[in-house]
Structure 1
């Protein structure tokens, strides 16, 4: 089949509207109250995602519990005693999250941490103490989080520990601080035991820098007799261990040579691990508890695609189960374990039912030095007649690079993959070296390799796609957010002829200024950045950061570039985008710059996300030739400002 015929077949497929993919879900984030009496979920109110609830026995009797009007609530959870819903919220993307409480009986709302320029952390919660939690507050010193006991009934705060040295803490079920953690000179982590409120001078556990991202405590059982660890020391991938706290003896519970042990499922009352997950190409759950194993077997027989436990009642008889059918919208079910009954609670985006959603293909790509890169490929509809993951003719390709970089891509429904595939592009997401989840060797292979072997992996992935007839060599774009935005700038400055165009979303252009402007509460962990990126306090490290910064190669850009930025981003400051735009303009190089004054590290408001993606769609259509939904009033409905390059994109 010729490329022309393939394009004609794609053209016959209906366009999935941008606002369906990137607008608010109808419902999301379902939870069961600990006592099992209530259901809660997120749903739009006046266009903004808010929290709703209803009796478990009557989900239709919904009432709205929050009244956010400017930004969606990013996270909520139930109080341990089920009397209140708690949520966090920041202002315009500044990530200074405060903690709020909504009383279930009265619907009265209270800010529990009414401080300016403060970011709350949850330090500890308890199964047996239901009216208190421990929180960390950096209102005294923005760099350090003091530990406070918060009475959820009265709102009273009582200081537990004034913190001037510690990056984090571990507690037990009695809400007693048991460990204090701080970074050591090598960039690893020292763990100091706390006895009767006194922190030991010497660490009991030392985690080397090579293990720092793959080793940590995973919590105590309720009775304090067992401490769980996810630990890569002495091995490559993180294993699940249990420590007898009386004797210190440790027992290996699970390990996998392909990937780190990921999540665990714990008994609500005892805290004992009942199941664990491993995610290499796809997530696999392994059950230790026989009853949980039976429940998973039953669910597996009922559901197509992937599933997992979203929430459980304390008696463990009621579950919320998410289900990703992979080529249909994600669903949430109410599972009654006693009756083995499953009923639909909600579909996240019913408008996607019957839409031409495409399967995601897990693939392994071998880099030039032999490292295997777990990756994910989605192809345009009607382009792969036999479904083997290779199109009938090469297609334009978007290399979609994840952020972090200490994060990973995973298998499952991905709205960006579906959107771009629907517009006629193949979409390839690569877990390049430095990504997490595949063991410490995989992560550490990316140390001080920004713009170097980390970028080589992306280049190798493009060459893999071209060599197999997946991608049209002349029509490959690079796109991503945060580190993915940085990778886009690297792609256009270090390999300027490889990509047809690039989309940088909140990506740093200057690693030197990036490290100078990190949020103050990241300072206790800054040695990790220095060891993995380059140490600006040494001449060699500073030179490395400069050598790896696209800002110093802006004059080499020869392909079109689109940049999106939030003005309030605390991680990658607006100045990072301003710098590269100004440098390109000095050299007379075209660039389009979209700025959102009410956003931070990414675009949380759907109006802004839809508007930016409308611009992206026009940009890609101009440079790769894919399909484009007409741009209507998206920009006018958003807060988007376009300081540069409006003229370079059709429709703007």
Structure 2
């Protein structure tokens, strides 16, 4: 049988155009509305730039990172500093740095060795300060600090006695905290007035992952916003009275959890909310924002979201994209309702043959509805295709509609691409989320099988040419699927996926200790005989002998979540059984690929691996694509053409 797919009329989209650095990204406006900051390549590495509003082409660089680049940033309310959190080669030891917008000088505000720091609160009431969480005192339990940005002077606000997180208000006053209990429930606490904590409210185990206080306190300090699924299925938005504990519902949706909340600046009263079932949409709660929602919806810019707002809320930075258009950053003036285009993130794709994405809802065998996304090659053909089942990570995450470089890349190479929100995915209510408990490698895998059967039944997929591919949990799903269903998939690609659930739980990062009960509830408790047996049963490494089809594994050597040992032991188990495997290690990466050179290199290897086993197209592999990366091909060198 001819295993090729006829997409020859379509030009190949270069891998570098999809997975290389964007031209510009991450725009944010300064508090005074006069300056735009963004990320862009400088000598091939993503750095921080600033430009006057209205003169984006007059941008100047602030930073000069030479290796890994700036992953993200935030404006301090003083307007003088930008705050950057970055690690070393993916080790997730994140330090907080302040960058002076005038001089570009960068200072470490958390110079405490290997720690994990994060910004908790920035407030216009204290423009020269930040509330920061970090675990320098105890790796497991991050404490709360108030840091003076200009000097780095740090003052502890609260020592962590075993809490999952703290909430402070705009005055940096400690208001609430959360603790995850051993049974999986969540207790919300408040200060007891004597230096300790007192219980305020509780979310049952079945509600703990779909509920919580949002830390948005009203100007008078009497209330906050909360999401809760207690007594219902989907998470609704509530106003929580902090004196009486009374919760007043503000918004709900029967099919999906309430998502993004747009609040009135400085007051934290809700203006609108987003809800995403098949696609995201915004709904106004306050008539004052309705003209803005209408103007942006009518502008023809695709699906949009607010990235940044000026202090007076006149100017918004709006990010917009569609399934066939990469991101565009716009400056929106609320006074005039005018949009000014700032930049295209990937202008090299302007004329590329991008393929539309289609939301589809697939019925699982037990009746659950699986919101999924299908992309077909743009050649107009109708014959069954080779299919790549692209499985998201988490699993407590979701796939969404929009521009997806992996969908575009694979569809351009001749594959149908299907992403499935299997049970345990977030956003679809607590019943759907909790249906994944103790179902790793079983009902969660059944959902993927049901989606594949749907694609075959619809005449979309050629049953003999189906691949499964994913990262993190998606990597686990790949290993589990290929050992549980050895004849279903023609090949698989595992990216930083755990192979042994026992060792995964034994080696989680110390700063995840607060959430250990979430893992044991979902996977199994290794402290009990039943839980330990379940973890072993669901670990693909113990089923390695069942693998019957080609497998490609990739791993970052510095991954603190899914350690290199997870991939090493799977490769060793396969080799012990005489089963061939291709294994690529990246010594300067963590949980995924941050450096575009490494992403391009691995995707080049993946592309040729898929072409060899599914029959799709492949862009010629240039020696420099591998040479510029740090890829170490430990097993399976014959995959390279």
TM-score by length of 1: 0.96
- Which residue in the other structure is 2:253 paired with? 256
Answer yes or no: is 1:206 the counterpart of 2:196.
no
Answer yes or no: is 1:141 the counterpart of 2:131.
no
- Which residue in the other structure is 1:577 paired with? 567
Comparing 173-182 and 398-407, the one that deviates more: 173-182
- Which residue in the other structure is 1:284 paired with? 281
Comparing 76-85 and 243-252, the one that deviates more: 243-252
Using the alignment, how far apart are the partners of 2:230 and 2:122 within structure 1? 28
Using the alignment, how far apart are the partners of 2:237 and 2:457 within structure 1? 40
Answer yes or no: is 1:505 the counterpart of 2:495.
yes
Answer yes or no: is 1:483 the counterpart of 2:482.
no
Answer yes or no: is 1:7 the counterpart of 2:5.
yes
Comparing 252-261 and 328-337, the one that deviates more: 328-337
1:53 pairs, out of 47, 50, 53, with: 50
Using the alignment, how far apart are the partners of 1:650 and 1:567 within structure 2? 22
Using the alignment, how far apart are the partners of 1:164 and 1:129 within structure 2? 27
Task: Check 1:473–1:480 CA distance in 2 against 1; reply closer, same or farther (3 A cut).
Answer: same
Deviation at 1:164, TM superposition (A): 3.1
Deviation at 1:196, TM superposition (A): 4.3
- Which residue in the other structure is 1:153 paired with? 150
- Which residue in the other structure is 1:639 paired with? 630
Deviation at 1:90, TM superposition (A): 0.2
- Which residue in the other structure is 2:546 paired with? 556
Task: Check 1:553–1:251 CA distance in 2 against 1; reply closer, same or farther (3 A cut).
Answer: same
Task: Give 3-state SS (helix, strand or coil) of 1:278's partner.
Answer: strand
Deviation at 1:507, TM superposition (A): 0.2
- Which residue in the other structure is 2:408 paired with? 418
Q: Paired residues, what number? A: 639
Comparing 34-43 and 317-326, the one that deviates more: 317-326
1:332 pairs, out of 317, 329, 342, with: 329
Q: Deviations over 1:222-266 (max 9, x none)?
A: 331321001111110000001233443321100001000000111
Would you say the 8 A contact 2:62–2:103 is kept in 1? no
Task: Give 3-state SS (helix, strand or coil) of 1:643's partner.
Answer: strand
Deviation at 1:650, TM superposition (A): 4.3
TM-score by length of 2: 0.98
Answer yes or no: is 1:565 the counterpart of 2:555.
yes
Task: Check 1:500–1:563 CA distance in 2 against 1; reply closer, same or farther (3 A cut).
Answer: same
Deviation at 1:365, TM superposition (A): 0.4
Task: Check 1:127–1:197 CA distance in 2 against 1; reply closer, same or farther (3 A cut).
Answer: farther
- Which residue in the other structure is 1:371 paired with? 368
Would you say the 8 A contact 1:420–1:426 is kept in 2? yes
Q: Deviations over 1:263-299 (max 9, x none)?
A: 0111122221111000001001001222311011112
- Which residue in the other structure is 1:274 paired with? 271
Comparing 63-72 and 603-612, the one that deviates more: 63-72
Would you say the 8 A contact 1:259–1:278 is kept in 2? yes
Deviation at 1:6, TM superposition (A): 9.7
Deviation at 1:197, TM superposition (A): 6.5
Would you say the 8 A contact 1:303–1:323 is kept in 2? no
Task: Give 3-state SS (helix, strand or coil) of 1:150's partner.
Answer: strand
Would you say the 8 A contact 1:622–1:650 is kept in 2? no
Q: Which runs of 5+ in 2 are unaligned?
A: none
Task: Check 1:197–1:608 CA distance in 2 against 1; reply closer, same or farther (3 A cut).
Answer: farther
Task: Give 3-state SS (helix, strand or coil) of 2:521's partner.
Answer: helix
Q: How does 1:86-485 map to 2 (within 5 A)?
A: 86-196=83-193, 198-201=195-198, 203-218=199-214, 219-384=216-381, 392-485=382-475
Deviation at 1:643, TM superposition (A): 0.9
Comparing 224-233 and 192-201, the one that deviates more: 192-201
Using the alignment, how far apart are the partners of 2:568 and 2:243 within structure 1? 56
- Which residue in the other structure is 2:25 paired with? 28
Q: Deviations over 1:137-196 (max 9, x none)?
A: 211211111111111122100122222322211111111111122111211111111144
Using the alignment, how far apart are the partners of 1:319 and 1:607 within structure 2? 33
Using the alignment, how far apart are the partners of 2:36 and 2:299 within structure 1? 22
Using the alignment, how far apart are the partners of 1:120 and 1:263 within structure 2? 24
Using the alignment, how far apart are the partners of 2:96 and 2:3 within structure 1? 56
Using the alignment, how far apart are the partners of 2:127 and 2:640 within structure 1? 57
Q: Deviations over 1:413-439 (max 9, x none)?
A: 000000000000000000000110000
Q: Deviations over 1:377-397 (max 9, x none)?
A: 00011135xxxxxxx110000
Using the alignment, how far apart are the partners of 1:330 and 1:108 within structure 2? 30
Using the alignment, how far apart are the partners of 1:5 and 1:193 within structure 2? 63
Deviation at 1:592, TM superposition (A): 0.3
1:622 pairs, out of 612, 617, 620, with: 612
Q: Deviations over 1:464-517 (max 9, x none)?
A: 100110100000000000000000001110000000000000000000000000
Q: Which runs of 5+ in 1 are unaligned?
A: 385-391
